[in-house]
Structure 1
Amino acid sequence: MSDSLDSLNFDDDELNFAQFHLDESNEDIVIKDAPKTERDLSFFKNIPVTVTLEVASKELSLGELMKAGEGSVIELDKLNGEPLDVKVNGSLLGHAEVVIVNEKYGLRLIDIIDSALTTVG
């Protein structure tokens, strides 16, 4: 088996690129726009994503984190009552507030960031 692998190895001297004829024209390549057609995106409806509601965050050094113990309080970067960040697979989708639905937490979307939706299509 190693004999067949050895036959696949090439020395630099064996490779001769002069025999290939490449078009060296300096003309810019023009790609014509294809006519816009409606695409069937129903395939994407079944792809699972993770929706996360982020309350707030705080950047601190590892040394500061190591000082924290049971009962320590770390101040976060949002004020009480501010809308929370809704993230889909880690990317910001918009903002929401927490609601309770059938004894479970839920979220009510307040706004959706336009760029989050336009990058899909």
Structure 2
Amino acid sequence: MSDALDNVNFDSDELNFDDFHLEDLDADSVVEAPAKVERDLSFFKNIPVTVTLEVASKEIALGDLMQAGEGSVIELDKLNGEPLDVKVNGSLLGHAEVVVVNDKYGLRLIDVLDSALSSVGQ
């Protein structure tokens, strides 16, 4: 690198903010931010995502898990009847309960977190 760049020193005493007269600015000289443009986000509708219904979880030592066998019970962190977590691509979307529709499991959304959808379209 150049020695000229290495020898640049900054002296805060050289700054003089008294020369700026912000109160003299008129409204016509202020540049406004452009209006937010609405975008067509319909192309997002065809992007596949993975929806997961997480019943519960438990942190367990690997040694304890290796000793588990048929008939072993591992207590999980959710209570009976508590809403289950719905995750989309690993991020929490909301909560749901399990339902059966035409002999297949399904989920009924109980609530959807606002934070999960707030960044869509921004």
The alignment's TM-score, normalised by the length of structure 1, stands at 0.71
Query: Counterpart of 2:104?
Result: 104
Task: Give, in whole Å, the separation in 1 of the partners of 2:117 and 2:102.
Answer: 29
Which runs of structure 2 are paired with 1:22-101 in the superposition (5 Å)?
33-101=33-101
- The runs of 5 or more residues in structure 2 that have no matched partner are 3-31
Which runs of structure 2 are paired with 1:1-12 in the superposition (5 Å)?
none
Highest Rg: 1 or 2?
2
For this pair of structures, how many residues does the alignment match? 95
SS at match of 2:107: strand
Query: Counterpart of 1:120?
Result: 120
- The runs of 5 or more residues in structure 1 that have no matched partner are 1-16, 19-31
Query: Counterpart of 1:4?
Result: none
For the aligned residue pairs, the C-alpha RMSD in angstroms reads 2.2
The alignment's TM-score, normalised by the length of structure 2, stands at 0.71
Aligned-residue identity in percent? 82
